[in-house]
């Protein structure tokens, strides 16, 4: 009798274990492929090309701890005199772990007066966000911020 009990329990645990395992697998396959750091790098290379990417000049403002990834305020500002000879031509923002690595491309010119753009973005996970600015002389400058997200965006079921 005792032996029977044990085998039932063993069977139960085995069944529960494989059910849990199957559950995990289904959840993983249901989720769309996440962007990876490799995708982030290739997206950045698409914009920057072979030009060197230097840290500095760019300031990326995002709250470090985000409760709701569906709407995250973000401000990118670039130190630049914004004259006809020396200005920011574009600002590109990328993420590491959303389903795709792009967030936005913003094109401005000397008429902007101040190189600053603000918008609201979505973040699907705690991750690294990168902003890159292209200057009128062709150089690229970047800044990155690590953001912790409690409630993820983009991939929830309805």
Q: Under the criterion CB under 8 A, does residue 61 sit at the interface with another protein?
A: no
Is there a contact between 147 and 123 (Cβ–Cβ < 8 Å)?
Answer: yes
Question: Binding of another protein at residue 113 (CB under 8 A)?
Answer: yes
Range in contact with another protein (rule: CB under 8 A) among 11-19, 67-75, 130-138, 144-152: 67-75
Q: Compare residues 123 and 133 and give the one whose CB is closer to another protein.
A: 123
What is the phi/psi pair of residue 36, to 5°? -115, 165
Confirm or reject binding of residue 102 to another protein (CB under 8 A): yes
Whether the Cβ atoms of residue 86 and residue 118 lie closer than 8 Å to each other: no
- CA nearest neighbour of 69 among 95, 46, 37: 95
- The answer to whether residue 39 forms part of the interface with another protein (CB under 8 A) is no
Terminal-residue alpha carbon distance, the chain: 48
- CA–CA separation, 22 and 94 (whole Å): 34
Stretch that binds another protein, among 6-14, 48-56, 57-65, 147-155 (CB under 8 A): 147-155
Q: Is 135 in the site for another protein (CB under 8 A)?
A: no
Q: Which residues bind another protein (CB under 8 A)?
A: 30, 32, 70-72, 75, 95, 98-100, 102-109, 111-123, 153-158
């Amino acid at each position: 009798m005792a032996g029977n009990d044990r085998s039932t329990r063993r069977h139960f645990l085995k069944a529960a274990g494989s059910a849990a395992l199957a559950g995990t697998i289904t959840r993983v396959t249901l989720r769309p492929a996440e962007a990876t750091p490799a995708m982030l790098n290739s997206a950045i290379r698409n914009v920057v090309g072979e030009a060197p990417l230097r840290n500095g000049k760019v300031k990326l403002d995002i709250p470090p701890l985000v409760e709701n990834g569906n709407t995250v305020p973000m401000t990118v500002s670039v130190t630049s005199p914004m004259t006809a000879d020396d200005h920011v031509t574009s600002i590109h923002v990328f993420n590491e772990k959303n389903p795709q690595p792009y967030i936005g491309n913003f094109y401005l010119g000397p008429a902007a007066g101040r190189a600053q753009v603000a918008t609201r973005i979505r973040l699907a996970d705690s991750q690294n966000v990168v902003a890159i600015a292209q200057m009128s002389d062709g150089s690229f400058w970047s800044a990155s911020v690590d953001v912790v997200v409690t409630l993820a965006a983009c991939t929830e079921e309805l």
